Chain A
Amino acid sequence: GAGVSQSPSNKVTEKGKDVELRCDPISGHTALYWYRQSLGQGLEFLIYFQGNSAPDKSGLPSDRFSAERTGGSVSTLTIQRTQQEDSAVYLCASSFGLGGQGNTFGSGTRLTVV
Chain B
Amino acid sequence: AQSVTQPDIHITVSEGASLELRCNYSYGATPYLFWYVQSPGQGLQLLLKYFSGDTLVQGIKGFEAEFKRSQSSFNLRKPSVHWSDAAEYFCAVGVNNAGNMLTFGGGTRLMVKP
Contacts and interface: CB of A to CB of B under 8 A. Distances in A.
Interface of A: 4, 31, 33, 35, 42-45, 48, 50, 56, 91, 93, 95, 97-108
Nearest to A59: B101
Task: Please list the 3 inter-chain residue pairs (A to B) with the smallest Cβ-Cβ separation, ordered nearest first.
Answer: A100-B51, A43-B104, A105-B43
21 contacts: A42-B107, A43-B107, A45-B101, A48-B96, A48-B101, A50-B98, A91-B44, A93-B44, A95-B98, A99-B51, A99-B97, A99-B98, A100-B52, A100-B100, A101-B49, A101-B100, A102-B34, A102-B46, A105-B45, A107-B42, A108-B43
B89 interface: no
A93 B46 CA distance: 11
A6 to B, nearest CB: 8
Interface residues of B, number: 28
Contacts of A91: 43-44
Interface in B73-114: 90, 92, 94, 96-107
Nearest to A101: B100
Contacts of A4: 43
B46 A104 contact: yes
B25 interface: no
Contacts of B44: 91, 93, 103, 105
B32 interface: yes
A95 to B, nearest CB: 5
Nearest to B97: A99
